[in-house]
Amino acid sequence: MRHTLPIAPQFYVTAPQPCPYLEGRMERKLFTALQGENAETLNNSLSGQGFRRSQNVLYRPSCADCAACLSARIDVSKFKPSKSQRRTIKRNAHLKRRATSPWATEDQYELFRRYLDSRHADGGMADMDVFEFAAMIEETPIRSRVIEYTDPSTSQLAGVCLTDVLGDGVSMVYSFYTPDRPSDGLGNYIILDHIEIARDAGLPYVYLGYWVPGSRKMGYKAKFSGLEVFMGGAWHPMRDPEAFELEKHPLGNDPIAEQVANISLPDLSPKRS
């Protein structure tokens, strides 16, 4: 008889490079491949432990001198929109939402380029060409959707979000939107609409990626009620953002080997027929 043994995920660490969020700091990531018949199970498990997906890779920050990056999610049952957020919902209520399979289009890429050139011209994705964009959208081994927002008065694409469907929520992998309407709060609106998507689907969480105390780029995430951050191996309700400053201390990080040892892996044994 032949026995197929489960292969445990292998974890690796990237080389240090300049942090895109905090000036003068270096970042590195702990990552593993996301592939095979257990991809969905592994993604669900590690997403609940602070990991994020990028194409066929799951990663989370593992910096030697900093522990500022915290995975963030919204508890849908505890979210209550602020007055400003209610105005944002009303301002964008005319947009039409459409969920599609993860296929890249020319309209998406054109909007993506305008967004990057306006908002992140010096960012790590600034040189992404159409083929790399298509890979970002289409290379997914799990259940993913592209959520498009269209202005019916012009038939123009106003916003896009690549969204993963997890066992306990929706994960906003990457979103972009027209830079021509800065007062409309489209970025916040896409998050607010994903809260409704999760609520309608009976899913408890909306995963937002990382929140970084001290980073102006990430400050908007702290404005959503019901926010939780992943710290010390567990999710905790958001407290005063200013109280997180000490988490940038280098002693806040465990050694790499200890971090890997503390990852809880799901049962990836082959299914018996």
According to the 3-state scheme, what is the secondary structure of 69-103? Answer: CEEEEEEHHHCCCCHHHHHHHHHCCCCEEEEECCC
**Residue with the two structure tokens 């890249």:** 104
Cα–Cα distance for residue pair 160/150, rounded to 1 Å? 9
- Looking at residue 133, what is its pLDDT? 96
State the pLDDT at residue 219.
Answer: 85
* Long-range pairs, 120-127, Cβ under 8 A, ≥24: 123/20, 124/20
Q: What is the pLDDT of residue 264?
A: 87
* pLDDT at 5 (0 to 100): 41
Residue identified by tokens 């990028």 is: 54
Topology of domain 12-261 in CATH is Aminopeptidase (3.40.630)
- Distance, in Å, from the CA atom of 40 to the CA atom of 25, rounded to the nearest integer, reads 33
Q: Are the C-beta atoms of 128 and 116 separated by less than 8 Å? A: yes
pLDDT at 270: 63
Report the length, in residues, of the chain: 273
Q: How many other C-beta atoms are found inside a 10 Å radius of the C-beta of residue 26?
A: 14
Each residue's pLDDT expressed in tens, for the chain with a length of 273 residues: 344 445 678 999 999 999 888 888 889 999 999 998 899 999 999 999 999 999 999 999 998 888 888 999 999 999 999 999 999 999 999 999 999 999 999 999 999 999 998 876 566 677 889 999 999 999 999 999 999 999 999 999 999 999 999 999 999 999 999 998 888 999 999 999 999 999 999 999 999 999 988 788 888 999 999 999 998 889 999 988 777 764 555 555 777 888 888 888 888 776 655
Q: Supply the pLDDT for residue 120.
A: 67
CA distance 112 to 159: 9
Strand 17-18 and strand 205-211: the pairing is unpaired
Model pLDDT, residue 191: 98
- Strand 96-100, strand 144-151: pairing: antiparallel
> Where in the chain are the domains?
12-261
Name residue 195's amino acid: I
Query: Tokens standing for 2?
Result: 């032949």
CB 206 within 8 A of CB 195: yes
Query: 225 and 38 in contact (C-beta within 8 Å)?
Result: no
* pLDDT attached to residue 249: 56
> Token pair of 153, please?
């008065």
Report pLDDT for 128. Answer: 87
Task: Please give the distance of CA 151 from its chain centroid, rounded to a whole number.
Answer: 25
